[in-house]
Amino acid sequence: AQRVTQPEKLLSVFKGAPVELKCNYSYSGSPELFWYVQYSRQRLQLLLRHISRESIKGFTADLNKGETSFHLKKPFAQEEDSAMYYCALSSFGNTPLVFGKGTRLSVIA
Amino acid sequence: EAEVAQSPRYKITEKSQAVAFWCDPISGHATLYWYRQILGQGPELLVQFQDESVVDDSQLPKDRFSAERLKGVDSTLKIQPAELGDSAMYLCASSSNQQGPYGYTFGSGTRLTVV
C-alpha cells in the first residue's frame, strides 16, 4: 500500500534559518513525488515535483530511493514561506495522489 | 488563470440531513477528483472520475455518499444522511489526461460542519 509520512505537525524556524520538511514514503514501485503548499486562505497548489528537479521559491527536494525520502529544503527561510506543506505520492499515469498529513511551517521574524 | 469552481464555500447542516456539493472543473479536464480533508490531516481521495465514468471509488462510503458526473463536466457529491464525523473540507481537483498528477488544480473547497 502507498503511504506518505510527514513526522512533524509543526515546524518553527527563524527568518533566515535553513528549513527542512521531512517526508518519507512507502511504495514498492517507482513513485512520483510531489510537494504541495497551502498558504493562509488560499487553495492547495503544487510547489514542486521530483522529476522536474527544479527549485521553486528557493525550495528544493531530492528523491532518495534508498531512504524512501523526499525532504523539502530551503537554505534561508522567509516569512512568506509560512504555510501548510503536504508531501504527496502517485504511483504512475493518472493514479490519484496520496497525501501526507502535512507540516505547518511557521517562520518567525 | 483557469480555476476549479466549488460551491458552496461553507455548509452547516444537521445530523441526518442531506447535503450536496458542486464542482466545476477546468474546461477540457477529463479527470476529476473529490478529496476529503479532516482537520489536521491531509486530503484523502473519495472518488476519481474519468469523463463521466468512475475510475476509483474504493474509499467512498457508499452507504451514505454518492457522486456523479453525468455529462463528464461538472460533478456533484452528496451525503445522505450526514453524520457528525463527516465534518471536513471537501476538495475537488481536476487534471487533463496528459498531465496526470502533475497538472492537478484544486478548488477552494467546501467546508462542511455537521451539528
Domain ranges of chain A: 3-108
pLDDT of residue B115: 97
- A73/chain B closest Cα distance in angstroms: 20
Report pLDDT digits (tens) over B30-84. Answer: 999 999 999 889 999 999 999 999 999 999 999 999 999 988 899 999 999 999 9
Q: Does the domain spanning A3-108 belong to CATH 2.60.40.10?
A: yes
Report pLDDT digits (tens) over A45-72. Answer: 999 988 777 788 999 998 998 999 999 9
- May I ask the CATH architecture of the domain B5-114? Sandwich (2.60)
* Domain boundaries, given as residue ranges, for chain B: 5-114
> Across the interface, do B100 and A94 touch by the CB < 8 Å criterion?
yes
- Please state the rounded mean pLDDT for residues B105-110: 95
> Across the interface, do A96 and B95 touch by the CB < 8 Å criterion?
no
Out of A88-92, B70-74, B101-105, pick the least confident. Answer: B101-105
Bigger pLDDT: B47 vs A94: B47
Question: Per-residue pLDDT for B100 more than 70?
Answer: no
Contact call for residues A103 and A84 (beta carbons, < 8 A): yes
pLDDT of residue A93: 66
Closest-CA residue of chain A to B40? A101
Torsion angle of alpha carbons A61, A103, A97, B42, nearest 10°? Answer: 180
User: Read out DSSP for B48-65?
Assistant: EEETTEEEE-TTS-TTTE
The answer to whether A43 contacts chain B (CB < 8 Å) is yes
> Across the interface, do A43 and B108 touch by the CB < 8 Å criterion?
yes
pLDDT of residue A55: 82
Secondary structure (3-state) at A44:
coil
How buried is B64 (Cβ within 10 angstroms: 0-12 exposed, 13-18 middle, 19+ buried)? middle
- Please state the rounded mean pLDDT for residues B72-101: 91
CA neighbor of A60 nearest in space, from A8, A21, A105? A21
pLDDT of residue A17: 98
> Across the interface, do A102 and B48 touch by the CB < 8 Å criterion?
no
Q: And the C-alpha cell for B105?
A: 488544480
